[in-house]
Amino acid sequence: MACHRFSSGNLFPPSSDFTRVTASRHLSKRQQRLPHSKVNGISMFELTVESDFSASHILEGYDGPCGRLHGHNYRVRVSIEGEKQDALGMVLDLRILKKALAEAIEPLDHRHLNDLPPFANVPPSAENLARHIFQKVREALAELEVRDARLRQVAVAESNQAWVTYRP
């Protein structure tokens, strides 16, 4: 099975395609939801936003360059899935998902990950970072009372060539 590559050469569309929101779109809780449907038991819509942050870390015990102090300009993609569309045809206002991601990564930005409480007992690998961000985004979405969409995955890149995806 061949993978589609975009003009940039990446397997994913440019980040601007993921995060573009062109108008303010708010709905009251009283507005009716449109009927929903599934295809083969799978939710029909997946929404993804992307952001980035910079941080340093050390993978202690690693035999190689990553065992020394170094940093990354991490890229993070968060995807949710949902079935129901609101009266405007949206599963979720992308601004809400962007806000949840921003809240999850702000405490990590321009920090040394080894010094942060979430990584006190686990190494700050890309895998553990993806799981941590997933948990924080899930908490933020719950606080924002998102009920009709489910957090599907978090993908973290240390470089353009290396991605880790966490799906519970």
Buried b (16+ CB within 10 A) or exposed e, 120-137: eeebbbbebbbbbbbbbb
What is residue 30's predicted lDDT score, i.e. its pLDDT? 35
Point out the catalytic residue in the list 72, 81, 132, 158: 158
What is residue 159's predicted lDDT score, i.e. its pLDDT? 93
pLDDT along the chain (168 residues), means of 10: 42 40 35 49 84 97 95 97 90 95 98 97 97 97 90 96 96
What is residue 148's predicted lDDT score, i.e. its pLDDT? 85
What is residue 43's predicted lDDT score, i.e. its pLDDT? 52
Point out the catalytic residue in the list 60, 70, 106, 110: 110
50 is catalytic: no
Point out the catalytic residue in the list 66, 103, 112, 127: 66
Residues contacting 37, CB < 8 A, separation 6+? 44, 83
Q: Is the dihedral of CA 20, 23, 24, 29 positive or negative?
A: negative
What is residue 147's predicted lDDT score, i.e. its pLDDT? 84
66 is catalytic: yes
Domains of the chain, start order: 46-166 (3.30.479.10)
